[in-house]
Amino acid sequence: MNLIKLQVKTTSHKYPIFIGSDILNKLKVILKENLISFNQCLVIADKNVPKKLIDKVLNALPQKKISLHYFNSSEKNKNQKSINNILSILLSKNFNRNDCVISIGGGITGDVSGFAASIFKRGLKFINIPTTLLSQVDSSIGGKTGINSKYGKNLIGAFYQPSLVISDIVFLKSLPKREIICGYGEILKHAIIADKKFFTFLDINGSQILNLKSPLIEKAIFKSCSIKKKIVETDEKEMGIRKILNFGHTFAHAYEATLGYSKKLNHGESVILGIKTAAKFSLLNSILSIKDFNLIENHLNKLNLPKNINKFFSIKNLNKILSFMKKDKKNNTKKINLVLLKKIGSPIHKLQFDEKKINLFLRKELIK
């Protein structure tokens, strides 16, 4: 069993990420070695996770008071009502600040659990066991927690670092292919913004990574986490360089919101579309070379990944897409902030554009 450990050190907190295959049974030892103890814990489990894997976690925990709360994970349930349900359990069982919330699930479950942990008595211990590829390479690192509202995605939340992250490949084997592609979108984004060599590795091994071939999948997760860790350590609260992690996301979040977070387009697929849109916008604004743009487009073609927004949207969606882009939390003027690309491995994040310019660009992309 290969067990890889990454240590994340931010100004507020440091915590380990363990990556490996079939490492859940080591949970008790990992907790002990990392000096994490509690009198009682609330396990918040995504209903989509196979019960035998949830039981595996429960059986590996120290024999303390364990409460189990099943969460029906969806963007629509990533809301204040779900937070209130969790807070009610914590209050009724008289949890204190030395106790613990454990999330077993994808990014939505982790975001909701982490946010509840952050606001209960101003902070409980939080352990994240991400069960999707997307959450293992993205949302479990960096301490962003939060919920959606009718005004947009992730507009209510807090930065709250976990005490521990356990990323076990065993969870991935229970996922449909579409969920693996969803996580691959973030892996690809990390390569494009930070590491040309890693992009080349993905270009060579992409189909095997999507098929969860070991040790390529572990290497892709580790490398992706390492890139995000380095950025988060430099800029925990997203005041500067961390903004590059939003490459493709201003478009992506608007695409998701326009479709009402429906199953037509999941987060990772939106990110892949956002990567392509941001790369094309970079090319047309003479920021990115045609050579690097073609490398990205050919990679999407090779793996048959979503790449054309006109397959999902028509011109009648244009105003809605733009209205969500204008509400994006990164905007601080009437202009729209975008992270664009100079070349693979080199993004730019201090760019603002008039709505009119983006309108014209998207209009052409939608009527192709």
The answer to whether 180 and 212 are in contact (CB under 8 A) is yes
Cα–Cα dist 199/163, whole Å: 30
Closest CA to 17 of 113, 105, 109, 129: 129
Neighbours of 35 (CB within 10 A): 7
Token look-up 């690097």 returns: 292
Q: Which residue is catalytic, options 153, 228, 243, 280?
A: 228
Q: Which residue is catalytic, options 128, 246, 317, 337?
A: 246
Q: Which residue is catalytic, options 242, 243, 276, 280?
A: 242
The answer to whether 277 and 251 are in contact (CB under 8 A) is yes
pLDDT, one tens digit per residue, over 62-92 is 878 999 999 999 888 999 999 999 999 999 9
Sign of CA dihedral 346, 159, 80, 328: negative
Helix or strand holding residue 199 (H, E): helix 196-210
Helix (H, G, I), strand (E, B) or coil at 69: strand
Q: Which residue is catalytic, options 190, 223, 267, 299?
A: 267
Structure-token pair, residue 250? 């201003």
Mean pLDDT in each 10-residue stretch from start to end of the chain (368 residues)?
A: 83 90 89 91 96 94 91 93 97 95 96 97 96 94 90 87 95 94 96 97 97 93 94 85 92 93 89 97 97 98 95 96 87 86 94 94 93
Chain center to CA of 46: 16
Closest CA to 343 of 290, 291, 288: 288
Tell which CATH architecture fits domain 177-366. Answer: Up-down Bundle (1.20)
Chain center to CA of 366: 27
Backbone torsions φ then ψ of 141, nearest 5 degrees: -115, 130
| Residue 159: C-alpha distances to residues 12, 74, 242 (Å) | 10, 21, 13
Question: β-pairing, 100-105 with 125-130?
Answer: parallel
Q: Where are the alpha helices (DSSP H) in 285-346?
A: 290-302, 318-326
* Residue boundaries of the structural domains of the chain: 3-174, 177-366
pLDDT at 1: 47
Cα–Cα dist 113/160, whole Å: 11
Cα–Cα dist 331/302, whole Å: 34
Structure-token pair, residue 317? 């969606």
Cα–Cα dist 284/333, whole Å: 23
Q: Is 363 a catalytic residue?
A: no
Q: Is 253 a catalytic residue?
A: yes
Helix (H, G, I), strand (E, B) or coil at 239: coil
Q: Which CATH number fits domain 3-174: 3.40.50.720, 3.40.50.1820, 1.10.238.10, 3.40.50.1970?
A: 3.40.50.1970
- 3-state SS, 56-96, equals HHHHHCCCCEEEEEEECCCHHHCCHHHHHHHHHHHHHCCCC
Q: Is 246 a catalytic residue?
A: yes
Helix (H, G, I), strand (E, B) or coil at 351: strand
Q: How far apart are the first and last CA of the chain?
A: 50
pLDDT, one tens digit per residue, over 311-325 is 999 999 999 999 999
Q: Is 122 a catalytic residue?
A: yes
Q: Is 269 a catalytic residue?
A: no
